C-alpha cells in the first residue's frame, strides 16, 4: 500500500471522532427545565412528565439508563432525561397502571470506548504511513519480485556515458595492458571464440585504498563502450534473511539483459569473507556469498558478462571466490613508483597554472608511498593555497606546503599556544629523529625537520629515499626502528625523562617488530616462520607458546633498537644540542640547513666516534 493511499485513514478517523458524538447527541433531550408546554410535547420536562402520569395521559414508558422514552394515550411519543435517582417513580407508574420496561444502554457503552478506538486507529495509520515511506516493506517486495524485474538498487550506466578511458589513468601501465585484453574481447569476441579462447569471467583488483581500482574499472567500460553496472557489496547484506541472495539474482538478471556488459562490485570483502569466520553466525551474508558463487559459475552461462571487483583485503576473501571459473584473474593495483607518480602528477596537472620553476619530477621524488588519490589531493591543495595567497600561479612553496598537509594530516598550527618547555622538548625529540636518520649506515636524506604542530603531530622529520625499494633487509628495518625510537631517547638524554610525544613512534615500532618476528622470519630464536596476519575462524593456526615467544622476541628487538639509539645520540650529543637549538630558533630546517649545522666544527672534546 502506497503512502499516499494511506493518508485518508487518519482523516477518516478524525471525521468519525467528530460526527459520531454529534449524531449520538441529537436524540438527547435537554437536561434543564423549560417553560410549560402542552402535555403532548415530544420533549416534556420531568415535572411535566410526572403531571402527565398523574393525569393518566401516559400509556407506557421504556427506561434506557437515565433516558425515558414513552407513549401518550393519544398515540404520541415523547423522550426525556430523568433524574439520577427517584425512588418514588416506580411506585407512581404502578399506581396509574403505566406499562414499564427496561432496555440495556448499549449505545452509551460503545461511545465510552470510541475515543480509545480512535487513538489506536490513528497510531496504526501513522505507523503504516511511516513504514511505507521509509521503505521498510522493500525486503518483502524484493522477495516477491518477479524474476528478471530490475532492482531499484542496480544502476546501469549506458555505453558512451562513462567519461573515463585509459588515457585518464596513469601510473599503472602494466595493469592497463592486462585489462586491455578484456576491452578487446568485449569489442571483438568472435576472434577469441574462433581460437577457442575463453575470456576470464572475473577480474579482481586489489591494493591499498586510493590506488585507482574503481577508476580502472570505469576506464575498461569507457574503452569498450558497453554498459557498466556498478554495485557496492555492502548493498547485498541486510538483516532480512534472503534479501542479499535476491539482490544478487536481480543484479545478474539485469546484466544478462544488457550483455555484453561489465559488472563492478566495489569493496567485495563486505560479502566475500571466509565462510565460517564470523562469530555472530550471520547466515544472511553466507547465503549472499553462495548465491554470488552460483551466479558466477552456475548452470546458466553468462556469455558477455565480465565481473570486476575491488577490495583492499584479498587475504580474507573466501577461497571459492578466487578459484578459476570465478575470479580467474587477480591484478595488484599497488602504490605507484617514481615513474608512476610522475605520470599521475602530469594527468592531474592538466588545467592548472604553474610557475616555470615548478618541477613535477622533484615533487614525485618527495612523495614516496603516496597513492594516486593522495597525489591528486596534493595538486588540488596547492591550487587552493595559491588562490588563498592571491598568487597568479602555483609555485614550489605552495606545493611543499600541500605535501606537508597531505603527509602530516593537516595545516600548520602556527597559532597554537605552546609553552617554552614544550617547544624545547619537541625540538629535542625531532632533532633525535634527524640525527638517527643522518648518522646511521646507508641513511635516507633528511628533507625537512620542523617543530610546527600539524594534524595530531607536534612536529615531524621527513626523509626522502634516493631510490625506492620493494625488499628490505633486517639491518635496514633495524635502522628504521632506531630512527623511530631516537626521539624518545633524545628526550631522556637531554631532558632526563621521556614524554607522551613518543606514542605514535612506539606504536609504529612495535608493529614493525612484530612483523619482523612473525611474518618476515627475522628472529634467530624463532626462525623462518610466517604467521597469518588475521587468521580466519576460531583456530589462529599456532600455539600459545609461539605467541608468547613472538611477544618476547618483539620486545627484545625494541630494547636492542632503543639501546642503539641511545648510544648513537650519546656519541653525537653536541650535534643533538646544536640541532635542537636551531629548531627552537627557526622552527623548520630543510636538508641543506641541517647539513650545514652538522658540518660545522665541533670542539675536540665533542668529536663523535662512529656508532653502528
Question: Mind listing the pLDDT tens digit for each residue in 393-430?
Answer: 999 989 988 888 888 776 666 656 678 888 899 999 99
pLDDT of residue 606: 46
| Tens-digit pLDDT profile for residues 466-511 | 777 778 889 989 999 999 999 999 999 999 999 888 888 999 999 9
Sheet holding 460-463, edge to edge: 460-463, 446-450, 588-590
Structural domain ending residue among the three candidates 278, 304, 332: 332
pLDDT of residue 157: 83
Average pLDDT rounded to a whole number, residues 361-366: 88
Using CA atoms, how far apart are residues 76 and 260, in angstroms rounded to an integer? 89
CATH number at residue 47: 3.30.720.210
Q: Is the pLDDT of residue 140 over 60?
A: no
316 CB-contact burial (10 Å; exposed 0-12 / middle 13-18 / buried 19+): middle
Average pLDDT rounded to a whole number, residues 8-28: 55
Count CB atoms within 10 A of the CB of residue 458. Answer: 22
| Cell numbers describing residue 525 | 630464536
Q: Do 310 and 450 belong to one domain?
A: no
pLDDT of residue 607: 44
Q: Do 318 and 346 belong to one domain?
A: no
Q: Do 517 and 489 belong to one domain?
A: yes
Supply the DSSP symbol for 412: B
| Maximum average pLDDT range among 255-269, 271-285, 542-556, 563-577 | 563-577
Confidence at 84, pLDDT banded by 50, 70, 90: low
Contact between 407 and 375 (Cβ < 8 Å): no
Q: Measuring CA to CA, which residue among 482, 505, 508 is closest to residue 562? A: 482
- Number of domains observed in the structure of the chain: 4
pLDDT of residue 484: 93
Q: Measuring CA to CA, which residue among 173, 177, 163 is closest to residue 343? A: 173
Q: Do 214 and 315 belong to one domain?
A: yes
Asked if the structure places residue 434 within a domain, the reply is yes
Asked if the structure places residue 612 within a domain, the reply is no
Q: Do 173 and 268 belong to one domain?
A: yes
Asked if the structure places residue 414 within a domain, the reply is no
Q: Do 436 and 351 belong to one domain?
A: no
Structural domain ending residue among the three candidates 284, 312, 332: 332
Average pLDDT rounded to a whole number, residues 505-520: 91
Handedness of CA 516, 517, 520, 526 (dihedral sign): positive
Asked if the structure places residue 413 within a domain, the reply is no
pLDDT of residue 19: 56
Q: Do 325 and 355 belong to one domain?
A: no
Lowest mean pLDDT among 12-21, 58-67, 258-267: 12-21
CATH number at residue 591: 1.20.58.760
Handedness of CA 288, 291, 293, 295 (dihedral sign): negative
pLDDT of residue 434: 92
Active site residue 430: yes
Q: Is the pLDDT of residue 536 over 50?
A: no
Q: Do 403 and 451 belong to one domain?
A: no
Average pLDDT, the chain: 79
| Maximum average pLDDT range among 155-159, 324-328, 528-532, 572-576 | 572-576
β strands within 553-607, DSSP E: 588-590
CATH number at residue 297: 3.40.50.300
Asked if the structure places residue 143 within a domain, the reply is no
CATH number at residue 404: 1.10.8.60
Asked if the structure places residue 208 within a domain, the reply is yes
Q: Which of the following is catalytic: 223, 284, 381, 430?
A: 430
Q: Is the pLDDT of residue 538 over 90?
A: no
Q: Do 515 and 389 belong to one domain?
A: no
Structural domain ending residue among the three candidates 381, 408, 435: 408
Average pLDDT rounded to a whole number, residues 141-158: 54
Q: Is the pLDDT of residue 4 over 70?
A: no
Please give the residue that has the higher pLDDT: either 408 or 295.
Answer: 295
Average pLDDT rounded to a whole number, residues 68-86: 81
Q: Is the pLDDT of residue 118 over 80?
A: no
Backbone dihedral region of 376: left (phi > 0), alpha (psi from -120 to 50 degrees) or beta? alpha
Average pLDDT rounded to a whole number, residues 180-206: 84
Contact between 307 and 251 (Cβ < 8 Å): no
Domain carrying residue 464 = 420-534+542-606
| Tens-digit pLDDT profile for residues 601-611 | 655 444 444 44
4 CB-contact burial (10 Å; exposed 0-12 / middle 13-18 / buried 19+): exposed
Q: Do 504 and 468 belong to one domain?
A: yes
Q: Do 237 and 373 belong to one domain?
A: no
Asked if the structure places residue 145 within a domain, the reply is no
Asked if the structure places residue 172 within a domain, the reply is yes
Helices (H) and strands (E) in the chain, counts: 22, 13
Q: Do 160 and 285 belong to one domain?
A: yes
Lowest mean pLDDT among 104-118, 291-305, 488-502, 523-537: 104-118
Q: Is the pLDDT of residue 30 over 50?
A: no
Amino acid at each position: 500500500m502506497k503512502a499516499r493511499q494511506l493518508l485518508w485513514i487518519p482523516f477518516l478517523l478524525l471525521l468519525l471522532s467528530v460526527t459520531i458524538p454529534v449524531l449520538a447527541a441529537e436524540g438527547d433531550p435537554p437536561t434543564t427545565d423549560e417553560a410549560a408546554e402542552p402535555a403532548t410535547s415530544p420533549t416534556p420536562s420531568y415535572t411535566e412528565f410526572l403531571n402527565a402520569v398523574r393525569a393518566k395521559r401516559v400509556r407506557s414508558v421504556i427506561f434506557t439508563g437515565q433516558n425515558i422514552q414513552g407513549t401518550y394515550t393519544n398515540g404520541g411519543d415523547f423522550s426525556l432525561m430523568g433524574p439520577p435517582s427517584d425512588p418514588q417513580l416506580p411506585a407512581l407508574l404502578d399506581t396509574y397502571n403505566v406499562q414499564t420496561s427496561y432496555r440495556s444502554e448499549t449505545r452509551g457503552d460503545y461511545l465510552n470506548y470510541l475515543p480509545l478506538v480512535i487513538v489506536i486507529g490513528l497510531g496504526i495509520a501513522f505507523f503504516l504511513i511511516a513504514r511505507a515511506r521509509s521503505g521498510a516493506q522493500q525486503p518483502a517486495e524484493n522477495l516477491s519480485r518477479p524474476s528478471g524485474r530490475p532492482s531499484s538498487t542496480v544502476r546501469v550506466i549506458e555505453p558512451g556515458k562513462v567519461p573515463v578511458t585509459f588515457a585518464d589513468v596513469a601510473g599503472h601501465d602494466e595493469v592497463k595492458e592486462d585489462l586491455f585484453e578484456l576491452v578487446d574481447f568485449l569489442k571483438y569476441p568472435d576472434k577469441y571464440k574462433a581460437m577457442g579462447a575463453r575470456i576470464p569471467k572475473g577480474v579482481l583488483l586489489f591494493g591499498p585504498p586510493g590506488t585507482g581500482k574503481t577508476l580502472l574499472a570505469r576506464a575498461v567500460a569507457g574503452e569498450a563502450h558497453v554498459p557498466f553496472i556498478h554495485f557496492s557489496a555492502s548493498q547485498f547484506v541486510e538483516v532480512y534473511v534472503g534479501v542479499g541472495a535476491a539482490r544478487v539474482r536481480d543484479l545478474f538478471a539485469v546484466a544478462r539483459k544488457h550483455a555484453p556488459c561489465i559488472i563492478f562490485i566495489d569493496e567485495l570483502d563486505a560479502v566475500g569473507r571466509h565462510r565460517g569466520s564470523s562469530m555472530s553466525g550471520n547466515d544472511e551474508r553466507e547465503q549472499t556469498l553462495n548465491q554470488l558463487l552460483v551466479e558466477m559459475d552456475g548452470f546458466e552461462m553468462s556469455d558477455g558478462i565480465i565481473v570486476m571487483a575491488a577490495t583492499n583485503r584479498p587475504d580474507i576473501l573466501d577461497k571459492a571466490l578466487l578459484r578459476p571459473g570465478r575470479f580467474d584473474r587477480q591484478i595488484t593495483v599497488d602504490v605507484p613508483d617514481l615513474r608512476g607518480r610522475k605520470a599521475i602528477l602530469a594527468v592531474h596537472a592538466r588545467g592548472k597554472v604553474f610557475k616555470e620553476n615548478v618541477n613535477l619530477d622533484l615533487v614525485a621524488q618527495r612523495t614516496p608511498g603516496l597513492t594516486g588519490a593522495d597525489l591528486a589531493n596534493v595538486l588540488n591543495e596547492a591550487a587552493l593555497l595559491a588562490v588563498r595567497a592571491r598568487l597568479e600561479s602555483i609555485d614550489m612553496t605552495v606545493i611543499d606546503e600541500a605535501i606537508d598537509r597531505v603527509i602530516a594530516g593537516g595545516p600548520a598550527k602556527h597559532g597554537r599556544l605552546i609553552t617554552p618547555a614544550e617547544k624545547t622538548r619537541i625540538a629535542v625529540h625531532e632533532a633525535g629523529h634527524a640525527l638517527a636518520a643522518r648518522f646511521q649506515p646507508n641513511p635516507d636524506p633528511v628533507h625537512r625537520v620542523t617543530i610546527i604542530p600539524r594534524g595530531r603531530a607536534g612536529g615531524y622529520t621527513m626523509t626522502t629515499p634516493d631510490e625506492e625499494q620493494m625488499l628490505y633487509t633486517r639491518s635496514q628495518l633495524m635502522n628504521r626502528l632506531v630512527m623511530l625510537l631516537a626521539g624518545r631517547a633524545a628526550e631522556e638524554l637531554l631532558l632526563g625523562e621521556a614524554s607522551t610525544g613518543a606514542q605514535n613512534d612506539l606504536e609504529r615500532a612495535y608493529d614493525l617488530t612484530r612483523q619482523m618476528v612473525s611474518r618476515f622470519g627475522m628472529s634467530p630464536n624463532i626462525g623462518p616462520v610466517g604467521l597469518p596476519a588475521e587468521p580466519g575462524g576460531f583456530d589462529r593456526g599456532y600455539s600459545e607458546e609461539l605467541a608468547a615467544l613472538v611477544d618476547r622476541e618483539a620486545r627484545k628487538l625494541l630494547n636492542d633498537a632503543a639501546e642503539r639509539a641511545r648510544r648513537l645520540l650519546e656519541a653525537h650529543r653536541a650535534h643533538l644540542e646544536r640541532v635542537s637549538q636551531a629548531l627552537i630558533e627557526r622552527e623548520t630546517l630543510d636538508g641543506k640547513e641541517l647539513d650545514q649545522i652538522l658540518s660545522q666544527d665541533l670542539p675536540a672534546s665533542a668529536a663523535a666516534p662512529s656508532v653502528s
